[in-house]
Structure 1
Amino acid sequence: MIRLSERNDNIEMITGDPKKAIIKLSIPMMLSMLLIMLYNIADSIWVAGIGAEALAALGFITPLFMVLVGLGGGIGAGANSLIARNIGAKDFDQANNAGLHAIVLCIIISVVFTVLMLLFLPMLLELMGAGDSIGYALDYGYIIFAALFIFVYSGVASAIFRSEGDMKRATIAIAVTAVMNIVLDPIFIYVLNMGIVGAAWATVLSATLSCLVMSYWIWGKKDLFLDLSPKNFSFQGKIMIDELQVAIPSTLENIIFSVLAIIINGMLVAASGTTAVAVYTASMRIVQMAMIPLIGMGTAVLTVAGVAYGARNYENLKTSHSYSIKLGFALSIALGALMYIFSHQIAAVFSYTSASASLAPEIATAISILSLFVLAVPHGMMSAMVFQGVGKGIYSLIITLLRSLILEGVFAYVFCFVFGWGVIGVYSGVLLGCFVGGTVGYIWAKIFIKRFGENLHH
C-alpha cells in the first residue's frame, strides 16, 4: 500500500521546483517510452523473419494503429492537463471529476472507432497502396482494432497516474506490456506457427495485462492521491469540453504524423518502389527510439506546465519551457551521434534472414542521414507540450500541422521530385521541415509565456 506521505510527496514535487520535477518525472517516462519502442522494434524484428511483405504490412498498419492509440494518448493528455491545473489551483474535487470524465470519454470513443475501423480497414489499406501485403495487413489489423478499447484505456489510465506525479506505477504498467510482448511474440509467431496473427495476439494480450494491473490500483487498492470512485462523478459539459480541447488536437497531431507517414511512403514508392518503404519503416523505428527521451521529457513538461499555469506561477512556467529545451538539445546531440556512429550495426539487426538481408546497406544510409532529425525536434516539441499543459491544445496542433504536414511534406516533395534527389531528397525535406516548423513554435511559446507574466502583473 502506498503511504499517504508518499502520495503527498508526489504532489509537492510537481508543485515545487520545475527543474527537479521535470527530471524526476522524465526519467521513469523515458524508461516506459523506451519499453514501448522496444516492443515495437521486437514486433518489427520478429515479423521481418516472415519476409518483406509481412514487414511492409506492419508499415501500413502502424500509422493507423498510432492514430487510434493516439486517441488514448490524446484523452490522457487532456485529463493530465486538466487534473494538473486543478491540483495547481488546489481544487481536488474537480481533479477527481476530471479523471472520471476521461474514463467515460475513453469508453465512448473506443466503441465508435472500433466499429469504424472494422468496417473500413480494407478500403483504407487499398487507398494507402498496401498492394501485395494487404492480406498480412488485414490479418494483423482486424485483431488489433477489435481490441481498441484496451489500447485507448491503457493510455488514459497511465496519464491519470502521471498527472499526480506517480510516475513509478505508470512505468510499471507499461513495463508489464513491453516485457510480455517481447516474450510472447516469438512464441506465438514461430513456436505456435501463427505468423503475423500471432504478433497481433501477443500485442493485445500484453496490453490487457497492464490494463488489469492499473485498474486494480485505481479501484481495488484505491491508493491514488485522486479518488476515482464513481460517487465522485458528476457530469459537467465544461470538463468534457476542456479535456477535448487538448484531446482532439493531440489526437489530430497523431493523425498528422500518420498522414505524413502515408504521404512519405507514397513518395518513396514513386521514387524507388516498396523496398524503400521497408527501409524507411525500419530506420524511422530507430529514430523514434532515439526520440524517446524527448517524448518522455515533453510528457513531464505537460504536467509541470499545467500545475504552474493552474497555480498562476509565471516563473515556474517560464523555467519549465526553457530548461526542457536546453536539456532536450543536450540529449539530442548525444543520441544523434550514437545513431550515426552505429548505423551499420543497427541496420544488421533488421536484416538477419535471407528475406531481408539485402536491405542492410540502405537502412544504414537512412539511419545515418536521419540521425540529424533528433536535433531538429526539441525546441518545437517542448513548446507544443507547454501549450498542451496550459490547455491550449489548438496552438500545439497548429505547430505540429505546420512542422510535419506542411513543411516536411512540401520540402520532401520539392527535394525528391523537383530537385531530383530521390529517396535522399525525401529524408532531407523531412529534416529541414521539422527544424523550421519547430522554430516557429518556439517563438510563439516564448511570446505566450511573456504575455502570461505581463497579465499577472496587471
Structure 2
Amino acid sequence: MENKNVKLMRGNPETAVRKLAIPIMISMILTASYNIIDGIWIAGLGEVAIAAVGFVTPIFMILNGVSVGLGNGATSSISRFIGAQDKENVNESAMHSLLIFLVASILLTIFLLLIQEPVLKLYGAKGAALTQAIQYGTPLFGGLIAFIFANGASGILRGEGDMKRAMYAVVVSVILNAIFDPIFIYTLNLKVAGAAYATILSSLISAVVILYWIVIKKDTYAEIDFKKFRFKTKMTKDILKVGIPASLDMVMMSIAVAFYLAFIAQINGDYGIAVYTSGQRLYLFVLMPLTAIGSAVTTVVGSAYGAKNGDYISRAHKYGSKLGILFGLVTTILLVLFADPLSTMFAYTPETAYLIPGIVLFLRVATLSLPLTGAGMASSFFYQGIGKGFLSLFFTILREIIFAVSLTYYFGIVLDMGLLGIWIGLALGRSIASAINYFAGRYTIKKIREDIGT
C-alpha cells in the first residue's frame, strides 16, 4: 500500500503545499523560538551580552544554514526520486544524506572553532563584548553535530512528505530549551554560555528522536540498511547540487549581515547593534512561515518534476507564492500594529528599556518587505525542487547582497539617514529582488513545460 505522505505529494498540488506547509511552519516557528527564548533570557544580562550574541549571529547563521541546506539537498533528491517512482534510489539518497551530514559536522566544527575569534573581531567585537561572544560561540559551534543531524534528518522526512513527525521532534526540543535556558544561564551561572549549552542539548535530543525513527524503528518510506550501502559519487552529487548552494544561501546572508553590522556599528555603535539584533530576532521568527511554505513547494515541485508533470509544477509554485504573499501581508500588519509590546520582550529591564524606540522603528520599517519576500521565497525553493540549487543561491545573492547591502549603504551612510536609512534599505532591497525572483521563476516554469510538453 502506498505511503500516505507519498500519496499526498503525488496528488493535488495546492492541497499538498498547504498540508505540508502547516507542520513545517509550526516546526520552523518553534525552531526560531530558540533565538527568541535565548534573547529574552539574555536580555537580563545587559547590553553587552545582547551585543555579544548579535556578533555571533552571522556565524551561527552559517552553522544553521549548512544544516538546513544539506537537509534541503536530501529533500530535493528524495522527492524527485519519489516522483519518478524509483524506490531504490530513494533509499540510496537517504543513506548518502546521513553520510554527508556526518562528514559535514566534523569539518565544519573544526572550521568554525578556528575562525570565530578573527571573524568576530572583523565584525567589530572588542573588549567585554568579544569575550562574551566567544563564551557563547564556542559551545554552540562545538555542538554543531546536533544541528546538522536535527535539521538534516528532518530533510529526509520532508523529502517523503512526513512533516508531522519532524514537527513532533521540534516541539520536544523547544520545550526542553525553554526549561534549560534559565537553569544554565542563571541557576548554574553560566551566563551567555548557558544559552548555548541549552540550545545544543535540546537540538541533540531532537536529532536522536528523528534518527531513531529513520535508522532504528525503520518506519519511514526510505529504508535504511547500511549493510547494502555502496558509496555512489553520482548520488552524492545529486544531493550536494542542491545541498551546497542551499548551505551557501545562509553563508551569503551571513556575509550580508556582516555588512549590515558594520554599517550599523559605524552609525550607532553597541546601541545600534543591540537594536538590530533584537529586531532581527523577530524578523527571522516571522520569516519562518514563509520559509515553511517554500519548503513545501520544494517537496511538491520535486515530486512533480520527477514525474514530469509541468502543470503540477506551475500550480505548486503559483499557489505557494500566493500563500507567501498572504502570510507576509498579515505578518507585516501585526508587526506594525504591535511593535511596542513586542519590543519590550527584548528590553524589559530598566537598563535596556532605552532600546525600545529603536526596536519599534526597525519593526515598522524593515519588515515592510515581507509580502514580496513571500513570493520570492516560494520561487527560490522552487529552484531547489527542480535540482537547480545554484539558481536559488543566485537570487539570495541578488536579494541580500546586491540590492539590500547596496541600498542600506546608500540610505544609511551616503544619504546620512542613520538607522532609519538602514531599515529602509533592507525593506526596499529585499522587495525589489523578491519581485524579480518570482517573475524569473514563472519564466523558468514556462520553459520547463515547453520541454516536457505538459
What's the TM-score once normalised by structure 1's chain length? Answer: 0.97
Corresponding position of 1:71: 66
Counterparts of 1:140 and 1:159 in 2: how far apart (Å)? 27
- Residue 296 of structure 1, aligned match among 292, 299, 320: 292
Corresponding position of 2:76: 81
Corresponding position of 2:379: 383
CA contact (8 A) 2:372 2:435 kept: no
Corresponding position of 2:257: 261
Note the C-alpha offset of 1:291.
1.6
Matched, 1:28 2:23: yes
What SS does the aligned partner of 1:377 have?
A: helix
Counterparts of 2:384 and 2:104 in 1: how far apart (Å)? 20
Corresponding position of 1:172: 168
Note the C-alpha offset of 1:225.
1.0
Counterparts of 1:222 and 1:36 in 2: how far apart (Å)? 25
CA contact (8 A) 2:365 2:427 kept: no
Corresponding position of 1:52: 47
Corresponding position of 1:124: 119
Note the C-alpha offset of 1:229.
1.6
The C-alpha deviation readout for 1:159-206, integer Å capped at 9, x for no partner, is 111111111111011112111101110111112222112111111111
Note the C-alpha offset of 1:328.
1.2
- Residue 201 of structure 1, aligned match among 197, 200, 207: 197
Note the C-alpha offset of 1:371.
3.0
Note the C-alpha offset of 1:370.
2.1
Give the share of equivalent positions with the same residue, in percent: 37
Counterparts of 1:178 and 1:47 in 2: how far apart (Å)? 17
Counterparts of 1:248 and 1:164 in 2: how far apart (Å)? 20
Matched, 1:105 2:100: yes
- Residue 211 of structure 1, aligned match among 191, 207, 217: 207
What SS does the aligned partner of 1:291 have?
A: helix
- What is the CA RMSD across the aligned residues, in angstroms? 1.2
Note the C-alpha offset of 1:457.
2.3
- Residue 136 of structure 2, aligned match among 124, 136, 140: 140
Aligned-partner residue type, residue 80 of structure 1: T
Counterparts of 1:284 and 1:232 in 2: how far apart (Å)? 46
The C-alpha deviation readout for 1:320-345, integer Å capped at 9, x for no partner, is 11111111111111111000000001
- Residue 236 of structure 1, aligned match among 215, 220, 232: 232
Corresponding position of 1:412: 408
Counterparts of 1:232 and 1:304 in 2: how far apart (Å)? 29
Aligned-partner residue type, residue 286 of structure 2: A
Note the C-alpha offset of 1:231.
2.7
Counterparts of 2:33 and 2:106 in 1: how far apart (Å)? 28
Q: What is the number of residues matched between the two proteins? A: 453
- Residue 435 of structure 1, aligned match among 431, 436, 440: 431
Note the C-alpha offset of 1:140.
1.1
What SS does the aligned partner of 2:190 have?
A: coil
Aligned-partner residue type, residue 107 of structure 2: V
- Residue 341 of structure 2, aligned match among 342, 345, 350: 345
- Residue 266 of structure 2, aligned match among 249, 270, 281: 270
What SS does the aligned partner of 1:260 have?
A: helix
What SS does the aligned partner of 1:352 have?
A: coil
Aligned-partner residue type, residue 145 of structure 1: F
What SS does the aligned partner of 1:412 have?
A: helix
Counterparts of 1:233 and 1:69 in 2: how far apart (Å)? 28
Counterparts of 1:378 and 1:124 in 2: how far apart (Å)? 31
Corresponding position of 2:38: 43
Note the C-alpha offset of 1:407.
0.6
| Stretch of structure 1 that moved more, 388-397 or 267-276 | 267-276
Matched, 1:19 2:14: yes
CA contact (8 A) 1:39 1:179 kept: no
Counterparts of 2:190 and 2:296 in 1: how far apart (Å)? 39
The C-alpha deviation readout for 1:79-114, integer Å capped at 9, x for no partner, is 110100000000011011011111111111111111
Counterparts of 1:46 and 1:216 in 2: how far apart (Å)? 32
Instruction: Mark the runs of 5 or more structure 2 residues left unpaired by the alignment.
Output: none
Corresponding position of 1:114: 109
What SS does the aligned partner of 1:273 have?
A: helix
Instruction: Mark the runs of 5 or more structure 1 residues left unpaired by the alignment.
Output: none
Note the C-alpha offset of 1:376.
3.0
What's the TM-score once normalised by structure 2's chain length? Answer: 0.98
Counterparts of 2:282 and 2:110 in 1: how far apart (Å)? 32
Aligned-partner residue type, residue 332 of structure 1: G
| Stretch of structure 1 that moved more, 112-121 or 49-58 | 112-121
Counterparts of 1:234 and 1:312 in 2: how far apart (Å)? 28
CA contact (8 A) 2:310 2:453 kept: no
Corresponding position of 2:310: 314
Superposed counterparts of 1:345-384, under 5 Å: 345-384=341-380
Note the C-alpha offset of 1:373.
2.3
What SS does the aligned partner of 2:3 have?
A: helix
The C-alpha deviation readout for 1:199-238, integer Å capped at 9, x for no partner, is 1111111111111111211122111111012134221111
- Residue 424 of structure 1, aligned match among 420, 432, 440: 420
4+ residue stretches of structure 1 with deviation over 6 A?
none
